Amino acid sequence: MKKVALIGTGPCGLSMLRSFEQAEKKGHKIPEIVAFEKQSDWGGLWNYTWRTGTDEYGDAVPNSMYRYLWSNGPKECLEFADYSFDEHFGKPIPSFPPRAVLFDYIIGRIKKGNSKNKVRFDTLVTGVTYNGTKFEVLSLDKKNKKIHKDLFDYVVVSTGHFSVPYIPEYPGMYSFPGRILHSHDFRDAEEFRDKNVVVLGSSYSAEDIALQCHKYGAKSVTIGYRHNPMGFKWPKGIKEVFHLDRLEGHKAIFKDGHVQEADAIILCTGYLHHFPFLSEDLKLKTRNRLYPPKLYKGVVWQDNHKLFYLGMQDQFHTFNMFDCQAWFVRDVIMEKIKLPDKLEIEKDINKWVAMEENIKNQSEMIDFQTEYNKELHKFSDYPKIDFELIRNIFKEWEHHKVENILTYRNKSFLSAVTGSEAPIHHTPWETAMDDSLKTFLNQPTK
């Protein structure tokens, strides 16, 4: 029997487990799957921890999510085609749920089956090499401090790429008298109440952490962008200025001459694709982009077709894209999808990379990833889902953000899976301080 190693059980790993489970339900014989998860539970980034730095075993904490994190995109864009929000919660829920609600949803689908017994928890994969016919996988059982060596026919890497922070240094950091942290270690905006906060970066983390700090009472938030400002209509108390030049004592001095007193610097400077466990010939090397090179259909390693990566793209689409990827990979492993020859593979990769390199704006980024998702979807029996509606929802969401960055999360959309309409949440996001599942779901009926 073929053996598959699945590394990581965040949303991508769970999509992989679900895809095999669905094939088995339809009567197909599936390979043996061993999933490795370095945390004590599944769910990846959505499995919140207060910890930063290292865990109780000295292993790096992968989590980058924080308290009060609400979905930054409409839930209708990430809904599973085979398990709707309506099915999970028994009723339509608002479009922008907090983290705990999305965690419940992700886990809800996989909990229904018996995939958990395929997972070795608290187990860190420390080495993967290919010997010409098989992959040798070394793993560390963190609890019992035992190293295991197993052989596999296939390896699926689903270890995420928002766990290892990219931390630049600016002059003056060495002697800055306040706190300097990366968004990876940001856990609670309450810490910055009444503080002057400087946020560096101009992408999703910078946007959301600036808003969080503002919402929870920071005295001021100054965002320093390096290339392009986000340019939203920021509320009073948040401003966006050009590129940090240096810190002098408590002062943050920007290249546009702006000077700001700062108590804390939060580096929202992104993450590294980091695979210390993979041998060089198997290692994906990329920045955060929509089509990392060397991956056929975004998932099959060009140099070894028995190695797969899930979710390595920059992400507009998430959970249903991970599903489309997992269903595709499953069918390659189960030989239902036949890969074309090397030349065809190279041509296909080059086509997508070239298309990505021609993208000029956010709207085209949404179009690109929607087309990619539609392309993958064609190959497998992943259930029907209206990607055209999702494309339009993403574009509307972008407009809502431009209109008012504080209120975009109060909007509602139609499900691309069930067609049902999300209710408007009972409390506007700006004033909703309690992000618990109980409070969120306590929606008065119409």
Among 63, 61, 33, which residue's Cα sits nearest to residue 137? 33
Torsion sign across C-alpha atoms 219, 66, 206, 414: negative
Give whole-number Cα distances, 304 to 88, 221, 279, 309, in Å: 38, 47, 12, 11
Instruction: Note whether 289 binds ligand NA7 by CB under 6 A.
Output: no
Tell me: does residue 414 bind ligand NA7 (CB under 6 A): no
> Coil, strand, or helix at residue 198?
strand
Query: Interface with ligand FAD includes 292 (CB under 6 A)?
Result: no
Residue 410 as a binder of ligand NA7 (CB under 6 A): the answer is no
Nearest to 163 by CA among 275, 67, 265, 68: 275
315 contacts ligand NA7 (rule: CB under 6 A): yes
Of 13 and 224, the one with the shorter C-beta distance to ligand NA7 is 224
Residues in the interface with ligand FAD (CB under 6 A) total: 33
The C-alpha atoms of residue 379 and residue 298 are separated, in whole angstroms, by: 13
Minimum Å gap between C-beta 143 and ligand NA7 is 30
Beta carbon of residue 95, minimum distance to ligand NA7 (angstroms, whole number) = 16
Q: Does 373 bind ligand NA7 (CB under 6 A)?
A: no
Token pair, residue 208, equals 């959301």
Binding ligand NA7 (rule: CB under 6 A), the pick from 205, 212, 370, 410 is: 205
Contact 153, 304 (CB under 8 A): no
Contact call for residue 204 and ligand NA7 (CB under 6 A): yes
Q: CA–CA separation, 240 vs 198, rounded Å?
A: 10
Q: Which of 13, 44, 97, 270 binds ligand NA7 (CB under 6 A)?
A: 270
Instruction: 280-283: list long-range contacts, CB under 8 Å, 24+ apart.
Output: 281/130, 282/128, 282/129, 282/130, 282/155, 282/307
Decide: is 212 part of the binding site for ligand FAD (CB under 6 A). no
Distance CA 371, CA 363 (A): 12
**72 touches ligand NA7 by CB under 6 A:** yes
Nearer to ligand FAD, 66 or 254 (CB): 66
Q: Does 159 bind ligand NA7 (CB under 6 A)?
A: no
Does 97 help bind ligand NA7 (rule: CB under 6 A)? Answer: no
Q: Does 158 bind ligand FAD (CB under 6 A)?
A: yes
Q: What are the phi and psi torsion angles at 339 (to 5°)? A: -75, 145
Q: Percent helix, strand and coil across the chain, each rounded to 5? A: 30, 20, 45
Alpha carbon distances (Å) from 314 to 14, 287, 289, 299, 373: 19, 9, 5, 13, 13
With CB under 5 to 8 Å by kind, the binding choice for 203 among ligand FAD, ligand NA7, none is ligand NA7
| 221-260 binders of ligand NA7 (CB under 6 A) | 226-227
Stretch that binds ligand NA7, among 121-129, 204-212, 254-262, 394-402 (CB under 6 A): 204-212
Least Cα distance to 292 among 271, 309, 317 occurs for 309
Residue nearest to ligand FAD (CB): 10
- Site of interaction with ligand FAD (CB under 6 A): 7-13, 36-39, 44-46, 62, 64-65, 71-73, 78, 124-125, 158-160, 162-163, 205, 277, 311, 315, 318
Task: Kindly list the residues in this chain that would bind ligand NA7 in the complex (CB under 6 A).
Answer: 72, 162, 168, 183, 200-206, 226-227, 268-270, 288, 315
